[in-house]
Amino acid sequence: MVGLGYVGLPTSLALVGSGARVIGVDIDPARLDDIRADRADLLDVDRERLRDTLRATDPALRLTTSIAEIADADTVLICVPTPVDRHLDPDLTALRAACAAVVAHARAGQTIVLTSTSYVGTTRDLLVEPLAARGLRVGQEVWVAFAPERVDPGNDGHRQELTPRVVGGVTPDCTARAAAALSRIAPRVHRLGSPEAAEMTKLLENTFRAVNIALANEFADVCRDLHLDVTEVIDGAATKPYGFMAFQPGPGVGGHCIPCDPHYLLWQLRGQRREAPLIETAMRGISARPRRVVERVRDLLAGSGRTLLGARVLLVGVTYKPGVADVRESPALEIIGELVRAGADVGFVDDLVASVRTPDGATLHRLTDHTEREWDLVVVHTAQSDLDDAWLRGQPMVLDATYRMTGLPRREVV
């Protein structure tokens, strides 16, 4: 396993649970130290199981920073981050480095499976062609496929062991070998005809979600203008047993998938002088959502004769979704940054997060005395399971960015 992050580590443990012996490679020694010492923020990982695995006399999971050790593996899975840069273009730094290292140490007889989300053609560009340049015949001496990661952090109902996978190999034999490896941790593996089909499948999955979230946000704005409760409307539509799938509005999107993956497709289309107007509009709307939250804070304060300058604003929950200790691309970071720049006195509370760093580089630490302070406005950004409804009911003004905090006496929505 090349890459032991939020996806690579739980996948490694799942493989160990299937009876496999896993070499876990990560170039960051601090990451490995944190995993060994149980200091890492481990999403979807059974900590006790991880500790027992690593402390065994002959551990089935061996951690190393040496990529050369992949030579001992029959199957190599590449699972590294594929974010976007500040221009929303793909940042392929980690992926290019990982693939180049794997190619340099690959040997005949191995199956190599790329799982990191990327543009269509990545598998051929970064693995197939370089392997061929080394003299390794793909489909005869080494077998290469793309099988996109599928994880839903914090959702026990969709653990990897319960989630079907798709795989597309360079040849039918490549597909079959990769499918055999994945079948150890997936209930079903759906075979596609090429790596490109599998790459586009992943982009479709997350672009579908992004577009529908943008639509839900737009409906939320329209419903507010028409004095309707958007959650009531969505819940009503969700009673239809066919042709409708409920998506929820919110303060924006975060994590390593939805805010990033559609931009890989848009970037590729721009290079081909093609357009995808619907996707482009949806992503612009999603990107603008945190600023919309700040505008609502400003408007609500103005209604009580206040400005953002000096206003005391508390964010409740800063992770990108409930139940995960992950603030990557969380809308809360931009919201906090915008409020601070406007001169507001901003604090946050979230039992899963000790501190956050805004896009401007400012660091805020979690408050432990927020219930003892007075706030001009409270923004519910993430509804964590331990949310104190009783305390919220006593606040002078609550902006519910989750749209689900019904029953609050002075509740407004974005």
Q: Where are the domains of the chain?
A: 8-193, 203-282, 289-413
User: Which residues are part of the catalytic machinery?
Assistant: 257
DSSP structure class, residue 395: S
Phi/psi at 380 (nearest 5 deg)?
A: -85, 105
- The pTM score is 0.93
For 172-222, write each residue's pLDDT tens digit. 999 999 999 999 999 999 999 999 999 999 999 999 999 999 999 999 999
Question: Strand runs (DSSP E) across 249-324, as ranges?
Answer: 312-316
Summarize pLDDT for 268-305 with one digit per residue, the tens: 999 999 999 999 999 999 999 999 999 999 999 999 99
At 253 the pLDDT is 96
8-193 topology per CATH: Rossmann fold (3.40.50)
Q: Reduce the DSSP state of residue 44 to 3 states and report it.
A: coil
Taking the C-alpha atoms of residue 31 and residue 116, their distance in angstroms, rounded to an integer, is 19
What is the per-residue pLDDT across 122-163, written as a single tens digit (0 to 9) for each?
Answer: 999 999 999 999 999 999 999 999 999 998 877 777 788 889
At residue 298, φ and ψ (nearest 5 deg) are -60, -45
Determine the CATH number of domain 203-282.
Answer: 1.10.1040.10
Say what the alpha-carbon torsion angle 326, 331, 336, 341 is, to the nearest 10 degrees.
140
Whether 203-282 and 8-193 are alike in CATH topology: the answer is: no
- For residue 42, pLDDT over 70 is answered with no
Cα(49)–Cα(207) distance, integer angstroms: 34
168, 146 in Cβ contact below 8 A?
Answer: yes
Average pLDDT over residues 15-27: 96
Fold exhibited by the domain 289-413: Rossmann fold (3.40.50)
DSSP 189-255: EEEES-HHHHHHHHHHHHHHHHHHHHHHHHHHHHHHHTT--HHHHHHHHTT-SSS-------S---S
